[in-house]
Amino acid sequence: MAAPPYLIQKAGEWQRTLLYAVSGLLVFETLTGLSIYLLPFSVPNQVMVLLHTLLGLVFVVPFAWYQVRHWRTYRTLRLSHVVLTGYFAMVAALVLIVTGLVLTWQAAFTARISRGWDLAHILATFALIGAVLPHVLTLVIRAVRARATEVGGMVTAAARTLGRRTALVTVALFALVAGISLSVQPAGFANEFPADYSYAFGPDRPFAPSLARTSTGGAFDSRSLSGSAGCGTAGCHEQIYDEWAVSAHRYSAMDPAFLSPSTSMVTSISSAVRIWAEEPPGTTALSRLPFGIPPAWS
């Protein structure tokens, strides 16, 4: 059985170095995009966000070059489901490029990314997967069926080489992700209370009588919080931060005239809490306060 004419073209096309690079980058971009969308927050996922963005920008030029060349080579073929899925994949990839560039610009120069652009990017990813898989698998199946012919054997061998080199590029990029992730040394946060911390209301209520709560029920190292400046430099609350930064409220924590009565009040209240926790029900512990009844309570 003679091989169809398109297989003769395919035998040469699947051996091009540009296709190896484009297919490897495409698989990496797809897998990292799915990881960012589906997996929880982690160091590897943060590294993948960076590489997904940087390599996505690099990917635009070789992909555009390959796509134009690919279209010019096969545009004369009659319309079939293979050609149709190829066009669907091309449109989905173009949407991914446009939305990816917009999201990159928003992430770099604005306070937040647009939910609409982000959703379009996600949907285009699944559309690309849904178009590329049947497009490529159909061609591979046809090549395998025609492997008894000389051209069919060439295409089958080219497909195997393409698969191996695509996997090699993808694995190399994920090895880079692993290497960067392992080199990151996380900060040694001490998420625990001091040794002399008073559990006046019991170890299961460390913040009582305050209504404060944490996700773990325990302490958090203050370094894990962004700090006041983070509220103004992240682009979210710039005006509020600028107004607060020069206010008396901001400097009150460093003002001795404010600190003196505040310290006295905190000491009195702390003593009241300890005495109240130790007294049996029905007794009046306020009379035993070392500093008397705090002014705020009188």
Tens of pLDDT, residues 216-243: 888 888 777 767 777 777 677 788 888 8
Average pLDDT over residues 149-166: 80
Residues of the chain with pLDDT > 90, as a percent, come to: 33
Estimate to the nearest angstrom the gap between the alpha carbon of 119 and the chain centroid: 14
Residues of the chain with pLDDT > 70, as a percent, come to: 83
Q: Token pair for residue 161?
A: 């080489």
Greater model confidence, 63 or 298: 63
pLDDT at 263 > cutoff 50: yes
Calculate the average pLDDT of the chain: 81
Q: Give the pLDDT of residue 9.
A: 63
Greater model confidence, 115 or 283: 115
Greater model confidence, 43 or 158: 43
Average pLDDT over residues 124-139: 91
Contacts of 288 (CB under 8 A, 6+ apart): 275
Average pLDDT over residues 10-38: 86
Average pLDDT over residues 106-119: 90
Q: Give the pLDDT of residue 291.
A: 46
d(C-alpha 175, C-alpha 169), whole Å: 10
pLDDT at 101 > cutoff 90: yes
d(C-alpha 62, C-alpha 216), whole Å: 48
pLDDT at 17 > cutoff 90: no
- State whether residue 15 is helix, strand or coil: coil
Q: Give the pLDDT of residue 55.
A: 93
Closest CA to 108 of 65, 56, 59: 56
Contacts of 86 (CB under 8 A, 6+ apart): 70, 74, 131, 135
Tens of pLDDT, residues 239-260: 888 888 888 777 777 777 777 7
Longest Cα separation, the chain: 105
Estimate to the nearest angstrom the gap between the alpha carbon of 273 and the chain centroid: 44
pLDDT at 137 > cutoff 80: yes
pLDDT at 286 > cutoff 70: no
Contacts of 257 (CB under 8 A, 6+ apart): none
Contacts of 199 (CB under 8 A, 6+ apart): 205, 206
Scanning the chain, the segments in alpha helix (DSSP H) are: 5-13, 17-38, 43-74, 81-109, 115-145, 150-183, 228-233, 238-245, 248-251, 256-278
Q: Give the pLDDT of residue 296.
A: 45
Query: Would you say 177 and 44 are in contact if contact means Cβ atoms under 8 Å apart?
Result: yes
Average pLDDT over residues 99-125: 93
d(C-alpha 260, C-alpha 199), whole Å: 25
Average pLDDT over residues 150-156: 72
Q: Give the pLDDT of residue 160.
A: 85
Sequential DSSP letters for 199-237:
-TT-TT-TTTTS----SSSS---GGGS--HHHHHHSSSS
Average pLDDT over residues 130-143: 85
Residue 243 CA: distances (Å) to CA of 73, 111, 246, 252: 62, 19, 6, 15
pLDDT at 193 > cutoff 90: no
Local confidence band at 272 (pLDDT 50, 70, 90 cut-offs) = low
Angle at 7 between CA 4 and CA 8, to 5 degrees: 100
Q: Give the pLDDT of residue 212.
A: 81
Q: Give the pLDDT of residue 78.
A: 84
pLDDT at 298 > cutoff 90: no
d(C-alpha 233, C-alpha 243), whole Å: 14
Residue 276 CA: distances (Å) to CA of 202, 273, 280, 293: 13, 5, 8, 13
